[in-house]
Structure 1
Amino acid sequence: MTTRLVYRRAGTGAAPGTVPPELRPAPVRAAKRWSGRSRKDFLVFLAMALPNLALIATFTYWPLINNIYYSTLDWTLGSASATVVGLQNYVTFFASEDASKVLGTTAVFTVVTVGGSMVLGLLVALALNSNVRGTTFARSAVFAPYVLSGVGVGLVWLFIFDPGYGVLAWILRGLGQQSPQWINDPQLSLAMVIIVYVWKNLGYCAVVYLAGLQSLPRDVMEAAALDGANSIRRFFNISVPLLSPTTFFLLITTMLSSLQAFDLIRIMTPLGNGTSTLIYEAYLQAFGAYNRAGYSAAISVTLFAILLVITVLQLRFVERKVHYS
């Protein structure tokens, strides 16, 4: 049996097990929330952030809100009056035969350009990741098309693909072959634009993948080589998993860029013959022969919704397979 001793100061009347008030530690006073330093830091933050926030609100969110409102109007571009029709523009678009063609063209263009740019970019990055003479010039040459104007690139490649007097037609005639009708055939025109778009954006993926390859831990690769793994096994079992953050970043950026591709399509196929993606169809409806501004706004909002859903799904599910360690 144990005996518990409880000490109590005489004359205090304190209950057993309690600490007298004079022996308790002084309460720590809460720091003032708005001290002079905090107020100064907050003012500096506002001075730095408010101009950017104002620009974003003015040129991004306000046009987006206006575009959503315009999509509920039956409005001809240039007209002083408009009629509120609610969701009728969306119903008209999805009920039309053009909706399946436009959405299908957008899907094909996006999947092929994103996949082609990333796969070819990785292969080019592997070739450039070597210590041989001329790699610096090769890297610059590969990346150069990405920074060139899309209008200029489209004009040059339009001359190459021209079935009458283009460079490709001249080469094929020299081989006794006829040049395909790249511009007049809807399927070939889409293939033509995809080839040019992949060529233009190939350097971006290659440079980003090259940076990822150069940041891989060498000790892991050397250990795998000592264990007998050949270059192919090291690439698929080590390099590819370790490059997953780079791949995830490129997947998001290239997909968003492909869904918003406009300049090459506009220059190489002005009438949208087989190349009418969502963004180009919105342009044709608003500024083409129809001048249907409200209908065009509905297509633009549809594109925005698709971009938002794809981004959220990628961040929610695809990121789970990314190895950051």
Structure 2
Amino acid sequence: MILIKIKKKYITNIYISNSYKKIYNFLNKKKYFLIFDYNIYFLFFKFIKFNFKNYKFIILPYGENVKNINSLKIIWKYMIKNQINKNYNTFIIGGGVIGDLVSYVCSSYFRGINYCLLPTSLLSQIDSSIGGKNAINFFSKNTLGIINCPIFIFINYLIIFYMKKKEFKDGYAEIIKYSLLNNKKFFFYLFKKKKIKKIIIRSCYIKSKIISQDYKEINFRSVLNLGHTYAHCIENNKIKKFSHGESVTIGTIFVVFLSSFFYFFCNKIIKKILNLFLKFNFFIKNKIKFSKKMINKIILDKKFDNKINYIIMRKIGFCIKKKLKKNFLIIFLKKFYEI
């Protein structure tokens, strides 16, 4: 078992293993409250039946639509009726959506109860489970939420092989993002024969290190939003559905295009970045029509501050935050759609 530990306040320890049996080392209470998403429950059924005696559980639907206020009410009611309190070991088992939703439930229930995350998708293991962010969608994506870290994160990297190929690919979009914003060596490593265990360890370390320098996202942590401002517009469009990974891919490619205006990117570098996305079978061609509604969604996005705060690249492995005017961004988006 591998431990990723950053010696700073608020930063959660991340344990990476190939088996859930090693989780017993961290259990210090006799009662358990388990929250699953529907897709993953059947993989855990036998393990829970034979290894947990006194437990209560709830199964939630799968998908982004579950991240709403109605879901909060349902879970809170269940917890109150079943007298779930701070004496329980609370485990959140599932992907990023369940992690976001139930972490918010735990952070607000009884003014905050401790919880542990067992992320089961590649995307949640290397991204959404780390950093304590939790939220629900209210009129827009992730509008209501709080930053509150779990007691620990336990990652079984073998469980991701039960995922659908599309979900597996979504995780790689974030992995490529980490290599672009913080680690040039990691970027070139992804072109070689890749061991998923090493990739997960490196990705978790990069994100933990960034968060340790700016836990409350006052300044530096915002570099993790590379490609996400535009990606959220694509995810929220009603014409065609895009997964998070597909949206981040298009958003990141737009950042490369935008960055080349401010800082000279030779064609060789641009091709190298595009080839890495193609290596993981991402479509790099934009597939939705430009509309001014997209700009309005960017303005409503949480990264707006008078001007639009955009994370752009100075070079592979180094990104900065830049404030852009609305009209300037409209011009570049139109050009991007002409490519």
TM-score, normalized by length of structure 1? 0.22
Query: Relative CO higher for 1 or 2, CA cutoff 8 Å, sep ≥ 6?
Result: 1
If each structure's strand is expressed as a fraction of its own residues, which one has the higher value?
2
Q: Which has the larger radius of gyration?
A: 1
TM-score, normalized by length of structure 2? 0.22
